[in-house]
Chain A
Amino acid sequence: MLYEYLPILIFLALALLFATVMLSAGFIFGGSNPDDEKNSPYECGFEPFEDSRMKFDVRFYLVAILFIIFDLEIAFLFPWAVVLDHIGLEGYLAMAIFIFILLIGFIYEWKKGALEWD
């Protein structure tokens, strides 16, 4: 029973080894030349330390929402692809209709200019 988990143990050991080797190699052989900028935590597009209740561009929300819709579509497509040979033509058509409706949403957002930043 426990024997079946052996591959996972081997995987964990390999991952640990790999990470240790890479990190220590960088630490030992790489040059070190720190300054203030390099030591500060990095975050894309924002100042790292300030009040969290700041204003930021509403277009970020728009992009995030548009992303979520198409991301969820993938979440539906995966289980559908796995059972496709069981659900047959009916299942295929159902997904085709679903994608078609999403396509209309995509045309709508494109035409309305939601994908343009400026």
Chain B
Amino acid sequence: MFDLFYIPEIILSIGILLVIVIDLYIEKQKYFSYLLIQFLIILASFYALTEVPTHAYSSYEFSKFTSLIKFLLLVGALIIFHYTYRHLNYLNNLKIEYFTISVLGLIGTMIMISAYSLLMLYLGIELLSLALYALIGFNKASKLSSEAAIKYYILGAMSSGILLFGISLIYGFTGSIDYFEIAEQISSVNNNSVQFLGIIFGMIFITASLCFKFGAAPFHIWVPDIYQGSLVSTTILLSTLPKVAVFVVFLKLYFIPFITLAFIWSDILIFIGIASIVIGSIFALTQENMKRLLAYSAISNIGFIILAMGLVTDDGLNASLYYTIVYSFTALASFGIITHITSNSHGIEDISDLAGLSKTHPYFAILILITMLSSAGIPPLIGFHAKLMVIQALINNSYIILSVLVVLMTVISAYYYLRIIKTIYFENRENLISTYTRNNILLSINVILLLGLGVFPFIMFDITSYLASILVDISI
């Protein structure tokens, strides 16, 4: 009974309720409440790494894989909150509620990762989405922010409805919401029966909804608007933590209950992946707004992840895990830099705002240079290895034409990453950028990791192949 209290989710949920009450009584000392939240996250991440609870609950799962992913998420949240605090403080928009809501969303992502039944999965997704609706609309002074929040709310509610419809179909045709029982039911169903058709129908509904949450191609329309409308600190949160969680949900759903349907979902995922890469790369070409550009870049990155997963092979699985971790690292760095740069006391909006950064802030200019080169996939950096692994997996499975297409799109996307670098180094402008700090150690470490892990890629290979091997342990 008492080892229940060492579960990171429980620590976070109880702790955050305490912080809400404490913050009411010491409203002036916001820094103290902020430190309390950071301490909670460190505590939770510590317990995520140590002994895995031996309890097995129906519909909730603890394993080495989920603990490690949770640890990664908590560390990510720690870094994001560090950036966010200074950013909000600078914009005079600091409220502790921002952090408490973020932590609730974080709990949602952890529930999604551990979920072992479809209803628990729905609960996690809903908790995450509710937190995100509030965070996106946090910047009340901006019309774009409210617009983004309403858009995300309406579309998100609709996609939740679609998810529930899919779940109800699966439940109706298999009689269970438990992952393992669904897997057993599906493997015993005749391929020509009505029941089989119903299960596929349900699976496609669930796929559509999850692709919406992921921001993959046919369901990507919300991504640029929401990224643009929300604060940069919210955008980092949106582009890292939920993506990792949804990725794990994808893995668990497709490789446990729906594994016998692989011959159907494989084609769907490959199509979604290719469509995301093409749309993300081509639409980003004409963007003038920095956040919109990074949003389209996120769409094409998501495409790589889904494409690798759709191959249903070990190297595809490895590549998608590798790509997810690298993508989160890169997104953390690129949005992190933008939170640190402000143009005359409001955040950077357009790419042209960045002109002349190399003169005033050579340190930040170099960080952006490294991050953008990594995203473009230039060899010594880690982004190159991630793209290489995906393309290699494609070639190994004899998707030659697709791999040529992917390489072409990578070349096209290099154009807009290089355009940012060109603006920073070769253009000037009158009113120069102001920043509230000249440097940040965490940010530097993050960017140096992009370079360092790129030079020694085997460290990351080992980590992801270890993750992939312990993932196999849980899936039957």
Interface segment, one of B16-24, B129-137, B272-280 = B16-24
B470 to chain A, nearest CB (A): 32
Scoring A residues 82 to 118 as 1 if CB is less than 8 Å from chain B, else 0, what string do you get? 0000000000000000000100100110011000000
Question: Which of A101, A107, A108 has the largest number of chain B CB atoms within 10 A?
Answer: A108
The docked-state distance in angstroms from the alpha carbon of A85 to that of B234 is 46
Chain B minimum-CB-distance residue to A100: B17
A101: which B residues are within 8 A, CB to CB? 17
Q: Is the CB of B17 within 8 A of A112?
A: no
Cα A107 to Cα B24 in complex, Å, equals: 9
Residues of chain A within 8 A (CB-CB) of B25 are 111
Secondary structure at chain B's binding surface: helix, strand, loop or mixed? helix
Q: How many residues of A contact B (CB 8 A)?
A: 6
Question: A24 to B20, alpha carbons, bound, how many Å?
Answer: 59
Query: In angstroms, how far is the closest chain B Cβ from the Cβ of A92?
Result: 15
Q: In the complex, what's the smallest C-beta–C-beta distance from B314 to chain A, in angstroms?
A: 42
Query: Which of chain A's residues have a CB closer than 8 A to the CB of B17?
Result: 101, 104
Give complex CA distance A62, B240 in Å.
Answer: 33
Residue of B nearest to A110 (CB): B24
**Which interface residue of A101, A107, A111, A112 has the most chain B CB atoms within 10 A?**
A111
**CA separation between A112 and B27, bound complex, in Å?**
10
Would you list which residues of chain B between 1 and 45 have a CB under 8 Å from chain A?
Answer: 17, 20-21, 24-25
Q: Report Cα–Cα, A112/B24, bound state, in Å.
A: 8
Q: In angstroms, how far is the closest chain B Cβ from the Cβ of A90?
A: 11
Q: Which residue of A lies closest to B17 (CB)?
A: A104
Contacts of B20 in A (CB 8 A): 104, 108
The distance in angstroms between the C-alpha atoms of A101 and B127, with both chains bound, is 15
Q: Shortest CB–CB separation between residue A76 and chain B, in angstroms?
A: 16
B25, closest chain A residue (CB)? A111
Could you show 12 A-B contacts with beta carbons less than 8 Å apart?
A101-B17, A104-B17, A104-B20, A104-B21, A107-B21, A107-B24, A108-B20, A108-B21, A108-B24, A111-B24, A111-B25, A112-B24
Query: 9 new A-B pairs (CB below 8 Å) besides A104-B17, A108-B21, A112-B24?
Result: A101-B17, A104-B20, A104-B21, A107-B21, A107-B24, A108-B20, A108-B24, A111-B24, A111-B25
Top 4 A-B residue pairs of the complex, sorted by shortest distance between their CB atoms? A111-B24, A104-B17, A108-B20, A104-B20
